[in-house]
Structure 1
Amino acid sequence: MTDSRLEQWHQVVFQRDQELLRQLLAENIEFHSPTVWKPKHGRDVAQFILMNVIDIFQGFEYHRQWVDGNEMALEFSATIDGKSIKGIDLIRWDDNGQIIHFEVMVRPLNGLQKLFDEMNARVVAAGFA
């Protein structure tokens, strides 16, 4: 059985659907990046981060995906500037079909460092840092 929320999320990622992403993110979403200590709060910053990460990742693909009620764990791989990474997106939805919590974990360290370098430059340029 396919979860419609998962189908929508795949549309965001693989079709780079920024409008759908905005609809899916709750206004007060809590976003946990693998590169910073404190979570970011709010739709605008989460949308900015997610769309930029989608742009940075090359050869992105999901492998295993778990759905348990309003909780999802999505295992992925990609490359960043030639560095291979593996990661997990942990997504929590509310009962209205919006994402209220998004947490990303990435390994190995050299790939995480590349992600930090790329994202940090974009976040600073946009005034989110």
Structure 2
Amino acid sequence: MADIHTDQPPEAAQAGITEWRRIVAELDWERLPELLAENVSYRSPAAFEPYQGKDTMVAILRIVFGIMEDFTYLRHFSSGTGFVLEFSTRVDGERLSGADFVEFDEDGKITDFMVMMRPAGAVELLSSEAARRMAAD
């Protein structure tokens, strides 16, 4: 089993995660593209293949955060330029817990963002509502 390192992340990555948390807290999706690398990968719990690009990631997060209620980050861990942020939220009254795995480049831009959530029934509820809203847009 690999060791988890909790060394101090590079300054650019630390600034990036601080900005990410601010964007989420304020739902400031207009500023999110500035934090994303051009070729950012977004890995959804609803699909195995990643989504690519800034516009796609911003569009998905706008919709998903419009569905989730009481989103709260609980704690985070770091290793090099990567962070794991544990969260809790609700969707239509159903509790969800999960983790965001966020990787930054040397400029403090997000290059890879993977979301894992449980339980499966609540994830399916979130995914189907997000798909419905995306289709309507």
Name the CA distance, whole Å, in 1 between partners of 2:76 and 2:107: 21
* In structure 2, distance between residues paired with 1:23 and 1:52: 19
Calculate the aligned-residue CA RMSD, in Å: 1.5
Q: Tell me if 1:22 matches 2:37.
A: no
Provide, for residues 82-123 of structure 1, a one-character-per-residue CA deviation record: whole Å limited to 9, x for no partner: 110000000001111110100000100111011111111122
Provide the residue aligned with 1:76 in structure 2: 87
Asked if 1:112 corresponds to 2:109, the answer is no
Match of 2:54 among 30, 43, 46: 43
- CA–CA distance in structure 2, aligned partners of residues 110 and 82 of structure 1: 12
Q: Say whether 1:58 aligns with 2:78.
A: no
Runs of 4+ in 1 over 4 A off after TM superposition: none
**Structure 1 residues 15-51: Cα deviation after superposition (integer angstroms, max 9, x where no partner):** 0111221101111111110001211111110111112
User: TM-score normalised to the size of structure 1?
Assistant: 0.91
Gaps of 5+ in 1: none
Q: Taking structure 2 as the reference length, what is the TM-score of the superposition?
A: 0.86
Moved more, 47-56 or 57-66: 47-56
In 1: Cα distance, 2:136 partner to 2:110 partner: 26
1 or 2 for the larger relative contact order (CA 8 Å, sep ≥6)? 2
Aligned length: 126
- The answer to whether the Cα contact below 8 Å between 2:78 and 2:84 also exists between their aligned partners in 1 is yes
Percent same amino acid at aligned positions? Answer: 34
Give the structure with higher Rg (CA): 2
Of the three residues 89, 102, 115, the one matched with 2:113 is 102
